[in-house]
Amino acid sequence: MCLIVFSHHAHPKYRLALAANRDEFYERPAAPLGFWEDHPQILGGRDLTGGGSWMGVNKRLSFAAITNYRDPASINPDAPTRGNLVKDFLLDGQSPREYMARVEKIGPRHNGFNLIVGDRDEAWFYSNGAAARGKGAQKIPPGFYGLSNRILDTPWPKVKKAKAALKPMLTRDEVKTEAVFQALGDRSLPPAEDLPETGVGPEWEKMLSPVFISSPGYGTRGSSILLIEKNETARFLERRFIPQKDGSPRETTREFRVRGETNGPF
């Protein structure tokens, strides 16, 4: 996942209203949104290389989502897969606070990441990136937030643009999913002088700067919407984009509706 915009206990109907884009190399295999065969309590997409996920919920409607923290100079090719941080929270049944205390201990083993986990009561954020060094895990107050490949609410152009477009939809209005998907599809480029410097070079900074990324070999593979109501029912939608030979994406959309369970396995 490379862009997440969400309201946390800031909408009259939803305790969580989240919209996100997942950017990845096209050749990396992934399973679409669905219940996992080996862990049927998890609903989410799945990285078929590492076995983890970028975002998901369990049957108690606890949720987790992760983005990479962009720091190419510090990448370790032998680091454990970051997607398991999402998977493990959805399986373990710990509270967000308890789980983040564990992640603080193991976080330095991983390449850079930003992790959000939450349940019906609270949500927490943790980053092992340089900009978050020494801060530890943080409880997220009710509000409206954006996250890309830096720490929470870093004002990158794509974050500011997505927040401006989505805030009315995710904090006040009845969520119109097609309008949310349209906002997540914004391919406009910001001015060059507004681009961050993250160590990937000016061409990649430009290519990575839109809300929706489209380039040869790498781009936005899917857009997701997760809506968890205060009555503990949820809608989870995923729109996948499969590049065709002419460069245009073929779209497929999946939607699941889930009622949260208060007991039983996670």
Name the percent of the chain lying above pLDDT 70: 96
Q: What does the mean pLDDT of the chain come to?
A: 94
pLDDT in tens, 117-176: 999 999 999 999 988 888 899 999 999 999 999 999 999 999 999 999 999 999 987 899
Q: How many domains does the chain have?
A: 1
Check residue 54 and give its pLDDT. Answer: 98
| pLDDT in the model for residue 266 | 47
Query: Does some domain include residue 265?
Result: no
pLDDT digit string, tens, across residues 110-125? 999 999 999 999 999 9
Evaluate whether residue 173 is within a structural domain. yes
10 in any annotated domain: yes
Within a domain: 192: yes
Q: What is the CATH number of the domain that holds 25?
A: 3.60.60.10
- Helix H, strand E, coil C: the string for the chain is CCEEEEEECCCCCEEEEEEEEEEEECCCCEEEEEECCCCCCEEEEEECCCCCCCEEEECCCCEEEEEECCCHHHCCCCCCCCHHHHHHHHHHCCCHHHHHHHHHHHHHHCCCEEEEEECCCCEEEEECCHHHCCCCCEECCCEEEEECCCCCCCCCHHHHHHHHHHHHHHHCCCCCHHHHHHHHCCCCCCCHHHCCCCCCCHHHHHHCCCCCCEECCEEEEEEEEEEEECCCEEEEEEEEEEECCCCCEEEEEEEEEEECCCCCCC
Which two three-digit tokens encode residue 215? 């380039």
Residue type, 30: A
Mean pLDDT over residues 240-246, rounded? Answer: 77
Whether 264 is covered by a domain: the verdict is no
Residue range 52-110, pLDDT digits in tens: 999 999 999 999 999 999 999 999 999 999 999 999 999 999 999 999 999 999 999 99
The reported pLDDT for the residue numbered 247 is 59
What is the Cα Rg of the chain in Å? 17
For residue 182, what are the domain limits? 3-259
Is residue 64 one of the residues assigned to a domain? yes
Classify residue 240: in a domain, yes or no. Answer: yes
Examine residue 29 and state whether it is found in any structural domain, yes or no.
yes
- Categorize the per-residue pLDDT at 246 as very low, low, confident or very high, splitting at 50, 70 and 90: low
Greater model confidence, 242 or 102: 102
Type of residue found at 172: R
Token pair, residue 123, equals 């949500």
